[in-house]
Amino acid sequence: MKKTNLGLLIGLITYLMWGFLSLFWKLLSGVNSYNTFSYRIVFTVITMLIYMVLSGNTKRYQTELRQLFHNKKALGAMLFASIMIAINWLTYIFAVSHGQATEASLGYYIMPLVSIVLSLAVLHEHLSRSMVIAVLVALVGVGLLIYNTGHLPLISVTLALSFGIYGLLKKEVTLSSDVAMLVESAVITPFALIYLIFFAKESMVDYSAMENTLLIISGVVTAIPLLLFAEAVKRAPLNIIGFIQYINPTIQLLLAIFLFGEGITQGELSGFAFIWLAIIIFSLGQVNSLRKKASK
């Protein structure tokens, strides 16, 4: 029980960190989004290489990487997953720096439901009645958002789909979370460097000392929550930790409305209401499922 409680505590800290991460990227809104993303990729690789050396896990990294390169299916899944997480990171940075943090938070609200649909379509997993109802209610909410705003919430859909596909692909990979992060960022690093060297109109010499500091520590800011999350799921079941995952988008939404001053229209609120209802239905279904398992 103590182990589970510690896992939940670490999970809670992780989701709080992810929730307040929008503040970090908002401070970098003066930097071009593509530049911020590219520097994040580069400094994440540097951070993970330093972590590898300081943690004394060099041999484990070498072993896991060797196994990955000898497994073509896993390697292909990892390369595609790297592209998906890169799209997710870039979209989120763009959204926050361009005053669309509200739409970004919606993406993380519907992400678990998108993962359910993907599992059904690709893995042919069985859906409980509550999951089916939750997905249908969420679709009504997205439909209302499209109807009331006149456009598809593209940022929300991109964030949810990219992370949902990322999670699906990672089922094919057995890498440790730290090794996986190094691989994912390393795959995108050549493209990030090509952009920064040949296409970026600005460089770090054009930014303030604070902006440069934030860019340098962006790798650490990226790595710490993911490594903590990996520790959390080692100690507590993923389905239990999943119940607190909505802390992340809730913090993002509150920051967007009350700190970033984005506001929310009546039409958007009606769409959000259906999505929140879908989340409640989904969560109650999960609670019921856990109770049934506990009673057996």
Q: Are 95 and 89 in contact (CB under 8 A)?
A: no
Residues sharing a CB contact under 8 Å with residue 272, sequence separation 6 or more, in sequence order: 106, 109, 141, 145, 264
Angle (CA) 175-177-178 rounded to 5° is: 105
DSSP letter (8 states) at residue 151: S
Rounded distance, CA 123 to CA 2, Å? 34
Q: What are phi and psi of 62, to 5 degrees?
A: -60, -40
Residue 258 has pLDDT above 60, yes or no: yes
In the predicted model, what is the mean pLDDT of residues 168-174? Answer: 84
Torsion over CA: 10, 239, 123, 135 (sign): negative
As a whole-number percent, the residues of the chain with pLDDT over 70 amount to: 95
Residue carrying structure tokens 């307040």: 20
Give me the pLDDT at residue 242, please. 65
DSSP letter (8 states) at residue 126: P
* pLDDT, tens digit, 9 for 90 and up, residues 43-57: 999 999 999 999 999
22 pLDDT tier (thresholds 50, 70, 90): very high
Tokens of residue 168, six digits: 């699906």
Indicate the average pLDDT of the chain: 89
In the predicted model, what is the mean pLDDT of residues 109-129? Answer: 79
Give me the pLDDT at residue 266, please. 84
Rounded distance, CA 234 to CA 229, Å? 9
Rounded distance, CA 134 to CA 121, Å? 16
Give me the pLDDT at residue 231, please. 83
If one counts every other C-beta atom within 10 angstroms of the C-beta of residue 46, the result is 15
Residues spanned by the domain of 63 = 2-295
Give the total number of structural domains in the chain.
Answer: 1
Q: Are 229 and 11 in contact (CB under 8 A)?
A: yes
- Higher pLDDT, residue 114 or 50: 50
* The most confident of 6-10, 126-130, 138-142, 248-252, by mean pLDDT: 248-252
* pLDDT, tens digit, 9 for 90 and up, residues 93-108: 999 999 999 999 988 8
Give me the pLDDT at residue 145, please. 83
Rounded distance, CA 22 to CA 96, Å? 6
Query: What is the Cα Rg of the chain in Å?
Result: 20
Residue 283 has pLDDT above 90, yes or no: no
As a whole-number percent, the residues of the chain with pLDDT over 90 amount to: 55
